[in-house]
Amino acid sequence: MGAGKTTVGAEVARRLGRPFFDVDEEVERAKGPIWELFAREGEAAFRELEARFLREVCSRRQPAVVAVGGGAVETRRLLEELDALIVHLQVDVETAWRRVAGSRRPLAQDEMEFRRRYELRAPLYSRVADAAATDADDVVLAAGGVHVSAGSLEHLDGLLPGDEPVALVADEHVAGLYGARAERALADRRASTHVVPRGETAKTLATCERLWQELRLERGGMLVAFGGGCTSDVAGFVAATYLRGIAWAAVPTTLVAQVDAAIGGKTAIDLPQGKNLVGAFHWPERTVIDPRLLRSLPDSERRAGMAEVVKTGLLAGEPMWELPDAELVRRSALYKTAVCLRDPSDRGERSVLNLGHTFAHALEAGAGYQQVTHGEAVALGLSAALRLSVEHLGLDRTVADDVEAVLAPQPVRVDLERAWAALRRDKKAKGGRPRLVLLEAPGKPVRGVELPDDHVRAALASLVVSP
């Protein structure tokens, strides 16, 4: 009582595009004021109605957000039996009592009894909750299985669900820097460690085949991807296909991966014809983000990651790139988590995350996935997308100029014809026509924009220094 479940629950439902139900309101709709129900039929009658509604709403196919009173933990095993993510919205007893004192809530008429129930329920909340939260941001991240906290690498074993063996997949650079710490954190759960190449060169069928053959996990095991976005891409794809699919977790170590690539369940490998053309949607059971790992990033990697931060900030309408590291990581992860939960299979709104990426992926393919980093390509892709937005959607030119100043993208030496062919084969293309994400204003993306080929090709060519 007094935790703010109704307010927070309604906000979470709005962000995730899901219906919201408050159990107390549903009971009152059926039986009248709760205080009258308690007086007339007792607490047991209320608990029966509460349990009946919870079981019914959780059995529906449509996902929903439900605010349920803390007393539900006193109905034997009720919350443990539900097919639902249980989040404990935490509040201290002083704040809770201050909020409910003087109300007609039946269980808030006596302060001593209120405090007794608080103490009684506290260990029950810890037992049944999948996550704890203090606000709507925490709940959204918990819904996506995303945990952001400094020093979380050292607590990796406790942050991963279950107790089955895990296989650690790390890129060769990260394995040298942090591999021993990750192995210690996983303790006795670690069954094996596997090293993959660094960067885009890992995302090949040959890497997948080697991992498939090396893994000895059973269906209940978990694969842990430890590294940058390319590591999570290939390791996630291996997890999606090994034994027809096993659980996996992402522990991203680069800025690109922490704010974007490791969130949302997209996994893939590359083909010579284009980037991420073979893959699967396979949401990680947990994404554990430790911003402290960014301290070892070279400046070039940080600049690469800032391109994704700027993209997210443009979509959200917030200058996230101006925030301190821990906060910009959390804000970016929060935005992407909410978008992906609203559209987990990328059939609609999620395509806004492609801002700048149609050009970026084409540049990477045009370079044969060599020399041009993903971050460099995204910075250039954003530049092209924003210039087209100015020309065709009336975006304020100062927005494009500001992004140029922050990212300072420089044209790259790639095969323009190969890049153009890859752009026309982009996953979002239709009938060979590129479909772009552009921007009317910060916070107002427009998806599925089709422009004349000569305009798009000219924008691509402006990013390229011909070999």
Q: Which domain CATH number covers 151? A: 3.40.50.1970
Is residue 143 within 8 Å of 152, Cβ to Cβ?
no
**C-alpha angle with apex 195: 189 to 201, nearest 5 degrees?**
140
Domain finish residue from 135, 166, 190: 135
Domain finish residue from 113, 135, 157: 135
pLDDT band of 92, cuts 50, 70, 90: very high
Same domain, 50 and 95: yes
Same domain, 84 and 40: yes
- Report the pLDDT averaged over residues 234-253: 98
Same domain, 13 and 128: yes
Query: 418: domain range?
Result: 349-461
Domain finish residue from 135, 154, 178: 135
Is residue 215 within 8 Å of 225, Cβ to Cβ?
no
Assigned domain for 316 exists: no
| Environment class of 43 (CB within 10 Å of its CB; exposed 0-12, middle 13-18, buried 19+) | middle
pLDDT band of 205, cuts 50, 70, 90: very high
Q: What pLDDT, on the 0 to 100 scale, is given for residue 303? A: 87
Same domain, 207 and 255: yes
Q: What is the CATH number of the domain that holds 78?
A: 3.40.50.300
Residue 29 neighbours by CB distance under 10 Å: 10
Same domain, 91 and 166: no
Assigned domain for 192 exists: yes
Same domain, 157 and 224: yes
Q: Which residue has the higher pLDDT, 391 or 347?
A: 391
Same domain, 194 and 279: yes
Strand partners, 171: 196
Helix axes 397-407, 374-393, angle to 10 degrees: 170
User: Tell me, what DSSP letter sits at residue 345?
Assistant: T
Same domain, 218 and 189: yes
Assigned domain for 322 exists: no
Q: What pLDDT, on the 0 to 100 scale, is given for residue 374? A: 87
Strand partners, 280: 267
Assigned domain for 344 exists: no
DSSP string for 366-401 = HTTTSS--HHHHHHHHHHHHHHHHHHHH---HHHHH
Query: Nearest-CA neighbor of 381 among 350, 407, 348?
Result: 407
Same domain, 125 and 224: no
pLDDT band of 69, cuts 50, 70, 90: confident
Query: Nearest-CA neighbor of 439 among 389, 370, 378, 372?
Result: 389
- Report the pLDDT averaged over residues 241-246: 97
| pTM of the full structure | 0.91
Q: Structurally, how many domains does the chain consist of?
A: 3
Assigned domain for 342 exists: no
Q: What is the distance between the alpha carbons of residues 36 and 222, in angstroms, rounded to a whole number?
A: 50
